[in-house]
Every structure is written in structure tokens, then in C-alpha cells.
Structure 1
């Protein structure tokens, strides 16, 4: 196995670090500051969990999928697939604080209540800024993490700490594709003699993701158009709107995407996963023929595992989620968008490796 120094040469220096935190919380060598991963000391270990868990270190992703998902569920475009649904939380209070339909918050809360998980590693932010990882153990703490951020905090450092403490034994994790991949690397136990209690990971909830933004740059861009302390929400509408939307004091402010694209994290250009393929289920903003005014209040959900299917069925049975029909073209649109991201990521890596 490669030396842990490979993280610096193969991930940090080429700008491929996602800032997920998978390398942190296990030893004092790694930390994070304002979205940047920092190594305090050189390490001469020939193997280590930090590089084994890193989502940007080389891995046989097909073998990893085959280890955790039945072969008959695997698709080349979006990974494991058992069904696509359009949903939203029936609880208006959840929807009111969510980026879209509040499906993720409702599902994680239900998973905790019904014993699928006994805690949840989540990301909390102030209207999308100053994001941080938290370990939630109550419904109130889960709801406090509603809404989205385009900053990438080292959330998985919180997971590593929780696993090390061995207090919770069915930990749920909510994360973007890079984070969920790292979690499945943990679950694969690449270092069996030092697996960091990986069996204590209970469920993995994925978030659709196009890209994240540089930590300070998104704060500065927000401050250009609004008071960051008053921003309660930020979102990226469908591509035809070509904008980032900030909500300040209940009013939406549109920022041209031309100002946003230059501050996309470099690492995100290398990503080939739009829908968080390594997860029990994945949630994103809805896309349908009803238009954005309707879609922004709904989510689309990809179910990937039997456990994910059980949770979604329970949400339907208990009236936690409202469902509506998926458009005939819905699945193909997701597949096409996902393939586009795969091709772009592969092209970026090919260009980077050819330099």
C-alpha cells in the first residue's frame, strides 16, 4: 500500500482534495481550516486509514460497488438503482426550512425514530455559510441542519471521532458524492486490523451534487449582494436560469452564474459522480415538466439498497412523505446528466495526468 505521504503528492498538491474530512479525526497529523486540508507533520507510515479512506486516492470502484450492491441493481450511468421517486415532506415546518422539499430531513428524522440509525453525521450552516459537521442525536438537532451549503466542511472528521469513541452503533451519514464514497471505503475495511469500528455505520444518505465552492470566495460573493448574517437560504436553479439565488429577509437575490463558476473548487472538476452512487438512497432537487416554481418544493429520490427501500416505504406508510408521479423522461434525464458529469470528470483527470 502507498505511503500516507501520497495524500500530499497525489491529492493535496494537484488540487484534488475535496475537503471531506475522511483523513481527519483519527490522528493529530491532519486538520482543516476554512475548507483547506492541512497536514501538520510528514508521516512515514507505509499504510494508513487517512489515504485508504480518501475519496480521491485510486480505488477499484466497480469492485467496491460489487461488494455492497447486488449486480442486478447496477447501472452504468447512476450506479445502484431500485427506483426513482418524487417526494416532499408532509410537515410544512420541515419544508419551510429546507432547500427544496425537505425529503432528506424527514427521512433522517424517521430513520432515527424507527431505529434504522441511532445518530446522524450532518452538515449545519448559517444560510449556507460557515458550514460545519455535527453529530445529531435528536429530531431537533436534525432539523437544525436543514438547508444546503455549497461550502465543503470536513464533516467526516465528526464521523471518524464518533466511530473512535464507539458510543453509537448505527450512525447515519448524510453527504455529497465524495463523502459517501469515502464512507463506503471505510465500510470496506481496507485495514482490517484497524477498521475504526466501521460496522457502526448504519445508513448512508447521499446528496446530488454538481460542485462545491471555495470557502472564502462564496462568503465574499454573498457579501457583495447581501448581508451574510441575514441570508437564510441559497440555491442553484436549473441551468436555464444561469444563477445562484440568495434569500435575504425573505426576498430572493439572483447572482449571475458567471460570477460563481470561477470559484468552483478545483477538485470538483475531477468528480465523476453526480448522484452519490455509494449510498442507501440519494436525494436531489426535483426536475419535471411542472416548471421550477413547482419543482423547487419537491425532491427526487433514488433508492439504491433494500434498507433504503424499507425506509422510503415506511415514510409513505406513515405519511411522512408525499409522493407524486415521476415524468416518463425523468430517469433518462438523470442518467444523461450523470453521464455528462462522468465524461467531464474523466476528461479533466486525463488532461491533469497528461501534464
Structure 2
């Protein structure tokens, strides 16, 4: 709920510039990278359960602090610490899903996780937009604090810890699987994933500010548009993934999702603030998410040996952390000098490039490390 309105909160409510808002979102990205790395290391060592629990509770504390802080540098530090703690959950949560699922239904399992996330996203931005418009942005942070605490309680109460969640001890003579940092094919995949994420995250990092500043969209209208993304995923992702989960060449599906990003940025640039074109942009970006993300995460979690899974998932999460840095900082800097449309034409060109590059990996990605 918080992230889609962060740049609007900083620019409209607190009066900071576009570039300052971009750097604040960049601080989120840096925290996300470190949090994912630390979370992956801790998950491989201690297991996924308590990493998830403490991440939810810790991130709630920093969200609560953002209700009261207005100094720019304190905001940067708090956003960084929030992302650090919050994104330690990502590798742990991915390992948890892989643990609970079987290889044959793993893509569907991750899609179910995304279904839950998008069910919240189908309502969160709409509710958040209304709250921001009629009560103020600070109430979004407070409400998000409460939902984090509630999620931690549900995990602790209804999915209690079991000793089987602890990683199995490995004999000293047993060789470990290939490190994620030495898997060249996986590194290439991670670089492309970071670029893909940078493009997709424009939906949350810069587009709300673009719609507000260039076309006068209200917070409520922006919230409803963003909620459409979650609603589309909730309604159609599971049936589509169920029909496609038998496919094993993940790169072809990821490339198909990247094609949708191409169409999305074309619609955004040619839309001219028309509501129908804004809806088309959301639909195309949502289809890009639907076709790419489940197969990205399945590839990432299926490629390594089990004792390296936390490390691989940490690197996967780091890719999105890098994207969270580059998405707002790069686009906002370009937008402040040359305008938002220039930034989105660059995104259009990059979308074409990564489509080609993902397709070029479809053979080599099938080989085991």
C-alpha cells in the first residue's frame, strides 16, 4: 500500500523535488539489496520461518516511524532500514514456498503466492488512494503498520514452527552445489531480470507522479488504476498458469511477458492522458507480470541444489533491489530534465532489447549448472 504513493507523499505532501523523491526510492532499493542478501544467508543457515516472522514485525516498526518523520535525511535512513528488514523476507518466503510445494506444481505454487499478494494489491492502492485524498498520506503508513503486525500474528498462530523447517546438517565431506555467484548463466539471467524489474517498477515508482503532474489525475483515480493491476492478476493468473505450468522453457514465457511491456510503454507514451489508454497501459503491464514473473521465480528456485537455494533466491531478490534503485532514480532524473515521455521512450527501447536477450537464453538456460 505504501510504495505506490511514496513519491507522491514526498513531492505533494512534503514538498520535495522529483530528484529527491527518486533518491529516496533509491534508498529503498539499496536497503532491498542488502536485505535480500542478508535474508538469503540467514535462510540457508537458520531456515525460513523466523526470518519471515521477524521481518514482518521489524518492518512494521519502521513504517510506524515514517508517520512522524519529515526531515529528508531521516526519511532516507528510515526508508533504507524499512527495505533492509522487509526484503529479508523475500528469499525466506521463496524457500518456504519451494519447501511446501512439489516440483510439478511449483510454478502454480508461486503463482498462488502472487495471487495472495495481488489480492492485497487489488484493494491496497484503491484504499490507499482514498485515504491519501481524504485523510492524508500518514494514515497509509499507519494502516500498513497494522497489516504487517497482523500478517506476523497469522504466521505465528496458524502456521507454527516445526523442526523440519531447520536446514538439514550437511556432512563436512559432502560437496555443496555451485555457488550462485559462479553460475554464469544465472548471472546473465539476474542482469536481465534486474532490467525487466526496472521497467516494470515504473508502474509504481514514476507513473503515479507522471499521471498526477502532467495530467492532474487525483490520488483516488491513480489508486483505482493501480488496483486494476492487482485485480487482473487475481482474476486470471491462476487459470492461465495452470494451463502453462507444464512448460519447461521458462525463457520463452518470460520473453512473451517482455513483449507486453513493449506494448505497455507504447500505450503510455501515445496515451496523452486519456483514461482508456491509461487502462490499456495497466492491462499490458499486468499481462507482462503474469507471463514473466511466475516463470522467473520458478527458474530461480529450480536451478540450484537445495543447499544453495537461499543464495540463489537472495540473488534473485537482489535483482529486484537493483531495479528498485534504478527505476526511480534513472527515470526521475531523465524526467526532470527531458520530461517523462523521454524516460518512457527509453523504457520502450529497453523492453524490446530484453525481449531479444531472454529469447537468446532459451537453450543455454535449460542446462544444469
Give the structure-2-normalised TM-score. Answer: 0.29
Judging by fraction of residues, say which structure has more helix: 2
Larger relative contact order (CA 8 Å, sep ≥ 6)? 2
Greater strand proportion: 1
TM-score, length basis structure 1: 0.30
